[in-house]
Amino acid sequence: MADCAKSVQLFAPDGTRVARYDKIHLFTATVADKHGSYNEAATFEPGTQTVVATVESDHAAYQLGMMICFDLRFPALAQRLRQAGADLLSAPSAFTYLTGQAHWSLLLRARALDSQCMVVGSAQGGDHVYKNGDIRQTWGHTTITAFDGTIINSYDASALDKTTGNEKNQDYAMVLATLDKQNQQQGRQKMPIFDCHRLA
C-alpha cells in the first residue's frame, strides 16, 4: 500500500496552503467498462479526518467541507461536514462513464439535500490511457447544486451548440455559481432537518 491517501488541497490566493483532505472512502467496484475492476485500497490508504476549511473573499467567508469522488456515495460524510459548519461541499471527481451516467447528478443532488449545503462537483471527463494500455472512460459533467437539490449550473463536453444545433466538443470549461448564504440559511430554517435528526 502507498503511504498516503488520494488527497485534495486548498490554497489561498497568496499560495499558502489552507487545508488538505485525504479521501476517506476508497473506490472499490466492478464496472462493465473496459477497465472492469477498481480497488483503490490496493494502492492507497484511506484518510481518517473530515476537513472543513474557511474560504475567504473580499466580501464574505464560507466554510468548505471537502470530499473526493467516491465520498459522494456516503450521506453521513456530507451530514458530518454540515454539522461541522460547512456552507458548501466540494467533490472533485473522476466517475467512470457508466457510474457517472447512472448516478452522478443524482448523488450531487442527494448530498445537497442531505446536508443543505451547496455541492460543487468538479469532474474529469474523457478517455484516460494507463501505461499497460487499459483505457478508463470518465463521465465529466461538472455540476453545481444548491442546498435544495436544484442544479444551478453544469457543463457537458458533448452538449449541443444552441445556436447551430451541432455537437460541440470542448475539453474544458469554467462552471460558476453564486452561493446565496442568506437564501440557504432561510431554506435550512424552513426545513430544520438537523434539529429533527435522531439516529446519529
pLDDT digits (tens, 9 = 90+) for 69-91: 999 999 999 999 999 999 999 99
Q: Which of the four pLDDT bands, split at 50, 70 and 90, describes residue 188? A: very high
Compute the mean pLDDT over every residue in the chain, rounded to the nearest whole number: 88
Alpha-carbon separation of residue 19 from 15, 81, 87 (angstroms): 12, 14, 16
Whether residue 4 is contained in a domain is answered as: no
Whether residue 17 is contained in a domain is answered as: no
DSSP H helices in 22-116: 75-83, 97-115
pLDDT of residue 168: 59
pLDDT of residue 59: 85
φ, ψ for residue 129 (rounded to 5)?
A: -100, 125
Compute the average pLDDT of residues 12-41: 89
Whether residue 82 is contained in a domain is answered as: yes
Domain with 155 in it: what CATH number?
3.60.110.10
C-alpha cell at 24: 476517506
Alpha-carbon separation of residue 183 from 53, 67, 186 (angstroms): 21, 23, 5
Which of 108-122, 141-155, 169-183 is predicted least confidently?
Answer: 169-183
3-state secondary structure of 137: strand
Whether residue 22 is contained in a domain is answered as: no
Whether residue 105 is contained in a domain is answered as: yes
Q: Which domain holds residue 149?
A: 50-196
Q: Which of the four pLDDT bands, split at 50, 70 and 90, describes residue 120? A: very high
3-state secondary structure of 136: strand
Number of domains in the chain: 1
